[in-house]
Structures are given as C-alpha cells and as structure tokens.
Amino acid sequence: MELSLKIAKENLDNIKESKADCIVTLCPFCQTQFDRNQQVVERKFNQKYNLPTFYYPELLCLALGVDIKQLGFNLHIVKVDSALNKII
C-alpha cells in the first residue's frame, strides 16, 4: 500500500501542478481510486488536492442532456460542484 500511495501522490502532484480543474478517466476503477484515495494521500502526506474526478461516461451523459440528478455526482467523495460549474 505504501508504494501505491506514493504513486498516487506523485500523480496528484503532477495533476495539481498542471492547474487542472478536475480529473477525467476512461477507467471506472481509476475514477474510484482517484476519488477515494485522494483523502488518504492528503492525510498521509499533509497535502490538499481537492481535485474532482469524473468517469468519462458521466460527462458524456451530461453533454447528451441526461438530468444531472440522475448521474450520481452526489456520490463522489471529492465534491464536483466547482468543476461542474465550469463545465455546464
């Protein structure tokens, strides 16, 4: 687990350094890992990322007009409101 957290931290550091507003993945497992592990990495390494993470089909559905309440954004651990406001 130590190695995976170090890799996650390195990825999150690079994403934050790029000034990205969010993370979008094609892999549902990756979305879950970035969303859930962000808090673990923040606590372990005393960092703050607050990077909302989306699974690409969520954004595709949003673009196709699916009601935002049906997409489960409220289930994300890292709140997605700030990123969604920039997207919509």
Can you give the pLDDT at residue 36? 92
CA distance 11 to 17: 10
Q: Output the pLDDT for position 88.
A: 85
Domain edges within the chain: 2-87
d(CA 65, CA 45): 39
Distance CA 51, CA 34 (A): 9
pTM summary value: 0.88
Instruction: Please name the residue ranges forming H helices in the chain.
Output: 2-17, 28-45, 56-63, 81-87
52 and 78 Cβ atoms separated by less than 8 Å:
yes
Cβ–Cβ < 8 Å for 51, 23: yes
7-14 average pLDDT score: 95
